[in-house]
Structure 1
Amino acid sequence: MNVGDKIRRLRMSRGLTQEELAMRTDLSRSFISQLESNKTSLSLDTLEKILRALGTDLKAFFSDQEEEKIVFKKEDRIPLYDQPDGVSSFLLMSDVETKKIDPTLVVLAPGAQTEEESYHEGDEFGYVLQGKVDLWLDDVRYRLSQGDCFYYRADKKHMLKNPSKKREAVVLWIEID
């Protein structure tokens, strides 16, 4: 394992410069640079300090987890059961518990609606792929058509309804933690 390279990738994935990481760890920028270039070694305590500043720990850093899955094919979709009549929902990717987003494809038959969700943490984003939907937030209706999108904090009661009596509606709905 190339420790320096892995630290560099973690730092960059967090949007930090070497200077910012140095400030968060009370280390010098030159030490961070030498470490990322594998020109110096470090103690376990220093590595733990750096990993804590990068939002991870030793176990995760040294785990032998398999390569991150990048592409999720149509056949990988996971159907969600116990949906109201006329609503079909599919998780678009697996292992959503470890990710900060939960993308779902929601298909609403004519006149169908999702169950009303109560307040919860996070944000929600949606994009209407087909048809029209009514987005209800705390009893206020917003009408959206194909190509429209929505974004809101999930601190409101919310649901989607297909107002059409003839066409189904399809929405890409993403919950963001």
Structure 2
Amino acid sequence: MEIGSKLKRLRIKNNLTQEELADRCELSKGFISQIERDLASPSISTLFDILQCMGTDLKEFFNDETDEEIVFREEDIFVKENKDDKNIINWLVPNSQKNIMEPIIIELLPNGTSYVDTPHEGEEFGYVLSGNISVFVGSKEYKAKKNECFYYKANQPHFIKNRGKSKATVLWVCTPPNF
């Protein structure tokens, strides 16, 4: 476990500088800096003292329960436009690459395409919100239109393409994260 970054977050949450924390713990600022960058490991008793100076204990510090964010809002969405492929990708959940699945909304302009993804472990699901698309899995092409969905194992090259004359929009979920 990398305790350095966790200690740094706790120090900042407590509005302490490295020097203030070091003074409280009777340690050097340099040692606190090394611990936070995981260049040095404190003994259990030193870690206990550091945590005590920040109003917590070992049990609470090593408890990995965090407030899980459940609802994501419009301002959380990260958007990337690819003019060459004529697509716009909207990442709906920030940092979703650390999760088991990754949802996006991809907008494909006429003749727009997603990138060709190489075979990988996992599965992919898409729901066509508007327009008409072609889903390519291996050497096969499948058509899907508004209110239809697709689902496949990602063990062959795969991508989607808008063969229509108007924009197509697809909610696409990949596991593991791959976009």
Task: Give the TM-score normalised by the residue count of structure 1.
Answer: 0.61
Question: Shift of residue 82 of structure 1?
Answer: 5.2
CA distance in 1, matches of 2:172, 2:120: 16
Change (3 A) 1:114 1:59: farther
Question: Shift of residue 97 of structure 1?
Answer: 2.7
The alignment partner of 1:75 has SS state of helix
Amino acid at match of 1:176: T
Partner of 2:94 in structure 1? 94
Question: Shift of residue 59 of structure 1?
Answer: 9.6
Structure 1: segments with no counterpart, 5+ residues: 1-57
Deviations 1:97-139 (A, max 9, x none): 3311100110000111111111011110000000000000112
Amino acid at match of 1:85: D
Bigger Rg over Cα = 2
CA distance in 2, matches of 1:122, 1:156: 11
Amino acid at match of 1:149: C
Partner of 1:161 in structure 2? 161
CA distance in 1, matches of 2:80, 2:143: 25
Partner of 2:64 in structure 1? 63
Deviations 1:9-41 (A, max 9, x none): xxxxxxxxxxxxxxxxxxxxxxxxxxxxxxxxx
The yes-or-no answer on 1:77 pairing with 2:85 is: no
The yes-or-no answer on 1:171 pairing with 2:170 is: yes
Change (3 A) 1:142 1:64: closer
Task: Give the TM-score normalised by the residue count of structure 2.
Answer: 0.60
The alignment partner of 1:70 has SS state of coil
The alignment partner of 1:97 has SS state of helix
| Number of aligned residue pairs | 118
The yes-or-no answer on 1:128 pairing with 2:128 is: yes
Change (3 A) 1:82 1:110: closer
Contact 1:84 1:115 in 2 (8 A): no
Structure 2: segments with no counterpart, 5+ residues: 1-58
CA distance in 2, matches of 1:82, 1:131: 19
Question: Shift of residue 85 of structure 1?
Answer: 3.1
